[in-house]
Amino acid sequence: MTTAISAPPTRPVGVAAIHHALQTMPQSPGVYRMLGAKGDVLYVGKALNLKKRVTSYTHVSRLTERLRRMVSETHGMEIVTTHTEAEALLLESNYIKRMQPRYNILLRDDKSYPWIMLTDRHEFPQISKHRGKPVKGASYWGPFASAWSVNQTLNLLQRTFLLRSCSDSEMQGRTRPCLLHQIHRCSAPCTDRISREDYAGLAAQARDFLAGRNPHMREQLGREMEEAAGALEFERAAAIRDRIRGLSALQQDSSVINPSTVTDADIIAIWQIAGQSCIQVFFIRAGRNNGNRAFFPSHARDENAPDVLAAFIGQFYDDKPPPAQVLVNQDLPELDVLTAALGLRRGRKVEIIHPRRGEKRGVIEHAEINAREALERRMAESAGQARLLQGVADLFGLAEPPRRIETYDNSHIQGANAYGVMVVGGPEGFDKRAYRKFSIKGPVTPGDDFAMMREVLERRFRRALKDREEGVRPEDWPDILLIDGGAGQYTAVRGVLDELGVTGVTLVAIAKGPDRDAGREWFHTEGRAPFQLPSRDPVLYYLQRLRDEAHRFAITTHRAGRSKTLVRSELDDIPGVGPARKRALLKHFGSARSVRQAGLGELENAPGINRDMARAIYGYFHPDWTGD
């Protein structure tokens, strides 16, 4: 149950707001949210006893500087009660991942992980890569750390088990085998090159192998190959030989992981240097290594490794089922609660183990080494980035390196599908979560980029100025505005910023050089004559990268918008015609024009179109028709 604790007429702030919330705070398990001046979530926490836990925030002298600052910004609280502390931990992790409160340890991971999918209901099951929510009628194995790792495994599985990867509609429409059959990666069930029984046997073998249920499959295939060769069936023997090679490659893909040591587990290790953390995750399923990935959670510099790792694990498994075992390199706080929460998430028992010795300890040490090396590389890159930003500050006379550089560009074709974009760069490189798209709403005269830029900047800074006045999201205020253009664009944008009252932002225009050569750009900024940089200057390369990234993002945004327009048709405007009926009509008639020209009888005979719907479609295209 969610409870918003209302504020009195004169709204308290800080400790007073917490004292007010405590008046109606229950002594039960649940999750609490600290709210800022605009209702934004500052912090999310969980507790076995909400009242006891929240009371601790009123003892300000015992809090860290970070928490004291959080308490001082608190204007209200919301709570959600749960039955157990484990349920509260799951809910807390979900809230943190969705709301991204700035005082929590944050896992910034907006990616979905790929799985291998094998359909169950078709007589010739399809094997393919899948992202997103699982669908009914299919089995899944994974997750995999990256598209590369799942593609490698999928290629080897196709070579080993010869299962089709094409869609059902592609399979039905084929009259001869595709290239995958020619290169021995598909048994071509589409053209009856394999019987249903033999194909079902291959699919069963693939399921057993992916589930780790048949470790002796290679020996069985070896005997089959010898029997085929003894019967002088050399083509069959060669095909089995290729399957054995693929199976060997699959079984050897475990890298440093010994299948007898770890069969179904995630190996998670954290490493910290100078207040920064890297967490390395290895996905092990059925004794195979499904790849690894490094994560760099956002947290205060004084957070210790066990707390960061525990928060990471809760958020990491918010949208994916945990395996039977999770191996870690730290003694985690509240281990029993976290273990119970993962068990609830999985629906079965989960163990969180910190191995001290033996082969599992060796596996964890390998993950630690990967985490340390990834963090060292990131810090080296950050140091290089810091030097570049210092160079930008020196070039444009800033007192300190910029924390946020916003670059703007726009794209359209003769005024159609016009979009403006903003990309953001800073100490961590490109911040893609901060990118913004602006669909141009006003009428655009072909070639009038000034009008587009004016609309984009007005929409961007009206909101930013309001937030700045209210003290909300101060990190969203830019230090530098970089635009692609010359003196004309610079003057136009300067006028927009002055009109809006935007101050404290350095405006820079980067104009293409003679013959549009990279390296010969001219820079325009306030108080200086236009100037160029040496062609080998690293700062020049960095500013070019910012401009080129904005240009790339503008082009891809425009193309996506144009594609949506192209797939629209006049059928979309007919009441009662949704995506399914639209597909049925286009499949039957071939085009929207043919639907418009069809007679009432033809429409009534179309699949999925009943008599009333046919009359509605016909009446839409023939407004003078009376229905007789």
What are 215-239's pLDDT values in tens digits? 667 777 777 788 878 878 777 787 7
- Where does a domain end: 253, 285, 306? 253
Other C-beta atoms closer than 10 Å to the C-beta of 243 total 22
In a shared domain, residues 93 and 120: no
In a shared domain, residues 136 and 231: yes
* Buried b / exposed e along 356-367 (16+ C-beta atoms within 10 A): eeeebeebbebb
Residue 386 in any domain: the answer is no
Q: Is 44 exposed, middle or buried (0-12, 13-18, 19+ CB in 10 A)?
A: buried
Other C-beta atoms closer than 10 Å to the C-beta of 344 total 15
pLDDT for the residue 251: 59
| Mean pLDDT confidence for 179-202 | 88
In a shared domain, residues 546 and 580: no
Residue 312 in any domain: the answer is yes
288: left (phi over 0), alpha (psi -120 to 50) or beta: beta
- Where does a domain end: 529, 547, 564? 564
Which pLDDT band holds residue 31 (cuts at 50, 70, 90)? very high
Q: Among 266-270, 348-352, 560-564, where is mean pLDDT lowest?
A: 560-564
Q: Is 458 exposed, middle or buried (0-12, 13-18, 19+ CB in 10 A)?
A: middle
The answer to whether residue 273 scores a pLDDT higher than 80 is: yes
| Mean pLDDT confidence for 139-164 | 86
Residue 597 in any domain: the answer is yes
* DSSP 3-state percent helix, strand, coil across the chain (nearest 5): 45, 20, 35
| Mean pLDDT confidence for 4-9 | 53
Which pLDDT band holds residue 411 (cuts at 50, 70, 90)? confident
The more confident residue out of 106 and 185 is 106
Q: Is the dihedral of CA 545, 550, 551, 553 positive or negative?
A: positive
Residue 395 in any domain: the answer is no
Name residues whose C-beta falls within 8 Å of residue 68's C-beta, 6 or more positions apart in sequence. Answer: 60
Cα distance between residue 424 and residue 438, in whole Å: 14
Give the model confidence (pLDDT) of 294-321 as tens digits.
Answer: 999 999 888 999 999 999 999 999 888 8
In a shared domain, residues 412 and 545: yes
The answer to whether residue 256 scores a pLDDT higher than 90 is: no
Q: What is the mean pLDDT of the chain?
A: 84
In a shared domain, residues 269 and 287: yes
Residue 482 in any domain: the answer is yes
Domain count, the chain: 5
Cα distance between residue 552 and residue 62, in whole Å: 50
Cβ contact 115:129 at 8 Å: yes
Cα distance between residue 188 and residue 586, in whole Å: 29
Strand, coil or helix: what is 32?
strand
| Mean pLDDT confidence for 557-576 | 67
The verdict on whether omega for the bond into residue 143 sits within 30 degrees of 0, i.e. cis, is yes
Residue located via tokens 């200057």: 537
The residues facing 422 across adjacent strands are 408, 436
Q: Among 238-247, 385-394, 618-627, where is mean pLDDT lowest?
A: 238-247
Please state whether beta strands 480-484 and 405-413 pair in parallel, antiparallel, or not at all (unpaired).
parallel
In a shared domain, residues 469 and 426: yes
Which CATH number covers residue 62?
3.40.1440.10
The answer to whether residue 79 scores a pLDDT higher than 80 is: yes
| Mean pLDDT confidence for 337-356 | 93
Cα distance between residue 95 and residue 44, in whole Å: 7
pLDDT for the residue 317: 92
Residue 260 in any domain: the answer is no
Which CATH number covers residue 291?
3.30.420
pLDDT for the residue 74: 93
- Inter-axis angle of helices 85-99 and 305-316, nearest 10: 80
pLDDT for the residue 586: 76
The answer to whether residue 627 scores a pLDDT higher than 90 is: no
Longest CA–CA span in the chain (Å) reads 93
Which pLDDT band holds residue 330 (cuts at 50, 70, 90)? very high
Share of the chain above pLDDT 70, in %: 89
Other C-beta atoms closer than 10 Å to the C-beta of 497 total 16
Which CATH number covers residue 468?
3.30.420.340
- Where does a domain end: 76, 104, 132? 104
The more confident residue out of 2 and 427 is 427
In a shared domain, residues 340 and 279: yes
* Buried b / exposed e along 401-438 (16+ C-beta atoms within 10 A): bbebbbbbbbbbeeeebbbbbbbbbbeeebeeeebbbb
The more confident residue out of 139 and 591 is 139
Cα distance between residue 36 and residue 50, in whole Å: 19
Which CATH number covers residue 596?
1.10.150.20
In the numeric block, which tokens belong to residue 320? 């994916």
In a shared domain, residues 157 and 174: yes
In a shared domain, residues 480 and 557: yes
Cα distance between residue 99 and residue 35, in whole Å: 12
Cα distance between residue 87 and residue 409, in whole Å: 46
In a shared domain, residues 556 and 580: no
In this structure, what is the dihedral angle of CA atoms 567, 571, 577, 579, given to the nearest 10 degrees? -10
Q: Among 120-129, 160-169, 350-359, 447-456, where is mean pLDDT lowest?
A: 447-456
Calculate the alpha carbon distances from 362 to 90, 206, 262 in Å: 30, 30, 11
Residue 393 in any domain: the answer is no
Element (H, E) at 584: helix 579-589
Residue by residue, DSSP assigns 363-429 as: HHHHHHHHHHHHHHHHHHHHHHHHHHHHHHHHHHT-SS--S-EEEEEEEEETTEEEEEEEEEEETTE
Q: Supply the pTM of this predicted model.
A: 0.71
Element (H, E) at 335: helix 335-346
pLDDT for the residue 341: 94
pLDDT for the residue 566: 47
In a shared domain, residues 335 and 415: no
| Mean pLDDT confidence for 154-167 | 87
The answer to whether residue 211 scores a pLDDT higher than 90 is: no
Which amino acid type is present at position 448? Answer: D
Strand, coil or helix: what is 574?
coil
The more confident residue out of 271 and 574 is 271
Cα distance between residue 23 and residue 19, in whole Å: 7
Give the model confidence (pLDDT) of 459-470 as tens digits.
Answer: 888 888 877 776
The winner for highest mean pLDDT among 2-6, 169-173, 411-415 is 169-173
Residue whose C-alpha is closest to residue 458's, from 418, 487, 495, 491: 495
Cβ contact 205:214 at 8 Å: yes
Name residues whose C-beta falls within 8 Å of residue 386's C-beta, 6 or more positions apart in sequence. Answer: 401, 427
Q: Please give the residue range of the domain that contains residue 166.
A: 115-253
The more confident residue out of 505 and 236 is 505
Please state whether beta strands 30-35 and 41-47 pair in parallel, antiparallel, or not at all (unpaired).
antiparallel
The answer to whether residue 212 scores a pLDDT higher than 80 is: no
Residue 627 in any domain: the answer is no
Share of the chain above pLDDT 90, in %: 36
Cα distance between residue 30 and residue 347, in whole Å: 21
Query: Residue 222: phi, psi to the nearest 5?
Result: -60, -40
Q: Among 25-39, 132-146, 382-396, 439-453, where is mean pLDDT lowest?
A: 439-453
| Mean pLDDT confidence for 394-411 | 91
| Mean pLDDT confidence for 37-57 | 92
pLDDT for the residue 339: 95
pLDDT for the residue 416: 63
The more confident residue out of 359 and 332 is 332
Cα distance between residue 244 and residue 222, in whole Å: 7
The more confident residue out of 217 and 366 is 366
Residue located via tokens 């970089």: 482
In a shared domain, residues 269 and 313: yes
The answer to whether residue 250 scores a pLDDT higher than 80 is: no
In the numeric block, which tokens belong to residue 439? 């669909």
Cβ contact 296:378 at 8 Å: yes
The more confident residue out of 621 and 279 is 279
